[in-house]
Structure 1
Amino acid sequence: MKIMIAVNTPLLSGNELKYVTECIETGWISSEGSFVTKFETEFAQYVNRKHGIAVSNGSAALDIAVKALGLGKGDEVIMPTFTIISPVQSVVTAGATPVLVDSDPITWNMDVDQIEAKITKETKAILVVHIYGLPVDMDPILELCKKYNLKLIEDAAEMHGQTYKGQMCGSFGDISIFSFYPNKHITTGEGGMIVCNDDSIAEKCKKLRNLAFEQQGRRFIHHEIGWNYRMTNLQAALGVAQLEKMDYHIQRKREIGKLYREGLKDLKGFQLPLERTSSSENIYWVFGLVAETEVQQEAMVKRLNDAKIGTRPFFWCMHEQPVFIKMGLFENENYPVAEKLARNGFYIPSGLGLRNEEIAKVISVII
């Protein structure tokens, strides 16, 4: 069955073709090219950071962030159970141990009140993941990091342009990361960015993304393991064009959220995204719905799919991932709020390319 209204349609309405054409005409299509440096510089400035390090995707950014902070065997990292697999995967593959917390039922972010009880002498970092459109409550986490001398990794993959108490998401962590997958507020097709203020961390990240080549000495002699996680000039050209339209993209996302909230305000049996908190207005990376029961969720998803309207389920909890269970992680752990979100939550079309008449169709089918 062909989906007529996709769950995400990117918006490429600026200088994307012009800049990509320049890459092709000049032959600068690999990671060596002026658009990479331009994108790094302008994106870092946008989120009020000193350094930007462009990489191949958000998961690559997390791999590098974990290693650049020296996290490894015996170290514990506190993070949410309700997230995409990438943050936990990066911690596990580095040899460190993920320690999970449940979600807040209203914002869907990690419950910050549960963090301190999970801190032990082995805890070395907190990894926050801003979920779906509202940021994590950062003040308590910053206090804990200071109190216990912990590193902070900030996964702002879904938070382009979002703020917490007026400060840009992505500006809080010792290292913060972004993703530029096509469903993000700005996209490079695939791609990611690491941002930080520390000069030595930035240099470490640059080295790790480029197979850990040494800056001095003979080429192809390596003293540590890195990755080929470079971003291409073609991708960066897209990113520069997308960044030029960032203010409009944020405005449009909030317009989409407002239209859905108004059209679905009388919907019974489903929780809508919170419009705002005391620190932030929702940026609606996606527009999610949480049904009261799994039966309701399944019935609504079927109704939408039958009408050729795309949907996606919410993230599945990390403590219930078969791959981690096989590794002996998270035995007998339960996180009821996150489990309900994972089972009963889904999101509806909300990409930047979505038209108002398509939003009206989605609303009519749901109602």
Structure 2
Amino acid sequence: DSTEAIGSRYQDKLVGSFGDSAIFAFAQPSALVCGEGAMIVTDDTETVSRLRQYRARGISERGSVVAPTRPPLQAEMSDIQAAIGLVQLARLDGILQRRQQVEALYFERMKSFEGIKDPYHGPDATAVHWFVYEVHLGTRFSRSSRDAIVTDLRAQGVEAASYCLPMHTQSYYRERGGGHCPTAVRVSDRTLILPFHPRLGEEEIAFIIETLKDASVNVGAGAAIY
């Protein structure tokens, strides 16, 4: 799943250009949004054939009872969604550039919080485009205080949210012996996301950060984070 890294590069290879196949979903808050749907990329012709058969039955096959080898899922996008997606795909470089500018504005404002550092880039990540703008609260914060901050932000019209639950705590993995990962839980309990899209302006970002600072004081954990 390369949705959250569209435009990024690993060891100077564009995500989606290596591996057996990769998927890019087109729902919010992805950089490439056309409502719903997704795209799978692969250079394996057998995989392409199987995926197309799963996606939908071709017009030429609709009158045949033997042509399809597996039941179709009728999972194709609409032509309207595809048209919107193609237009955005042509503008993707500009969209990603603007999102990087928004990230930089956030970080400039966030530097007045104690101990905030640049987001971590792994040594093999030669280009990084973020899916959401995450804030990690310091150890003085608890899950309940994080939730209170999110509530305060949303009361002021800021679409903040907690983000996200560790996979091993979700029922599918828990029922299969997902294990115990206390560090992942601690990080998750102190993580929230802020609005992140190309149309955010400097004044809006300043308001969001000031509201976040006020909310962190309101929960009694102090103004500093991290």
Same fold by TM (over 0.5)? yes
Cα deviations across residues 17-47 of structure 1 (Å, max 9, x unaligned)? xxxxxxxxxxxxxxxxxxxxxxxxxxxxxxx
State yes or no: 1:352 paired with 2:195: no
1:198-347 to 2 correspondences below 5 Å: 198-210=44-56, 218-221=63-66, 222-268=68-114, 274=119, 276-278=121-123, 279-292=125-138, 293-294=141-142, 295-322=144-171, 324-325=173-174, 328-330=175-177, 333-347=179-193
Task: Give the gaps of 5 or more residues in structure 2.
Answer: 214-226
Distance in 1 (CA, whole Å) between partners of 2:171 and 2:62 is 45
Alpha-carbon distance in structure 1 between the residues aligned to 2:86 and 2:134? 29
CA separation of 1:217/1:230 partners in 2, compared to 1, >3 Å: closer, same or farther? closer
CA distance in 1, matches of 2:173, 2:126: 34
| Mapped partners of 1:275, 1:342: distance in 2 | 16
Amino acid at match of 2:164: F
Q: How far off its partner does 1:182 sit?
A: 2.8
Secondary structure of 2:147's partner?
A: helix
Q: Distance in 1 between matches of 2:16 and 2:95?
A: 18
Write the deviation string for residues 109-129 of structure 1: whole angstroms up to 9, x where unpaired. Answer: xxxxxxxxxxxxxxxxxxxxx
Structure 1 residues 162 and 237, CA gap change in structure 2 (3 angstroms):
same
Q: Is the 8 A contact 2:164 2:188 kept in 1?
A: yes
In the alignment, which of 22, 31, 53 is matched to residue 185 of structure 1?
Answer: 31
Counterpart contact for 1:311–1:347, Cα < 8 Å: yes
Quick one: which amino acid aligns to residue 177 of structure 1?
Answer: I
1:245 positional shift? 1.1
| Offset at residue 216 of structure 1 (A) | 6.5
Change (3 A) 1:266 1:233: same
Over the residues paired in the alignment, what is the CA RMSD in angstroms?
2.4
Tell me the secondary structure at the aligned position of residue 102 of structure 2: helix
Percentage identity across aligned positions? 25
Q: Tell me, in whole angstroms, the C-alpha distance in 1 between the residues paired with 2:106 and 2:132.
A: 11
C-alpha distance in 1 between matches for 2:191 and 2:168: 17
1:199–1:267 CA distance, 2 compared to 1 (3 A):
same
Asked if the contact 2:5/2:130 (under 8 Å) is kept, the reply is: no
Shift of 1:215: 7.2
Q: Is the 8 A contact 1:274 1:282 kept in 2?
A: no
The equivalent residue for 1:18 is none
CA distance in 2, matches of 1:229, 1:354: 33
1:224 CA drift (Å): 2.3
Q: What TM-score comes out, normalization by structure 2 length?
A: 0.82
Aligned AA (1:240): L
| Corresponding pairs, count | 208
SS in 1 for 2:101: helix
Rate the CA distance shift 1:273–1:210 in 2: closer, same or farther, 3 A.
farther
Q: Offset at 1:275?
A: 5.3
SS at match of 1:304: helix
Alpha-carbon distance, 1:300 to partner: 2.5
Matches of 2:210 and 2:130, distance apart in 1: 20
Asked whether the equivalents of residues 160 and 185 of structure 1 are also in contact (C-alpha less than 8 Å), the reply is: yes
Structure 1 segments of 4 or more deviating over 6 A?
213-217
Measured in 1, the distance between the counterparts of 2:101 and 2:62 equals 54
**1:189–1:217 CA distance, 2 compared to 1 (3 A):** closer
SS of the counterpart of 2:193? strand
How far apart, in 2, do the equivalents of 1:342 and 1:176 lie?
26
Report the Cα offset of residue 218 of structure 1.
5.0
Normalising by structure 1, we get a TM-score of 0.52
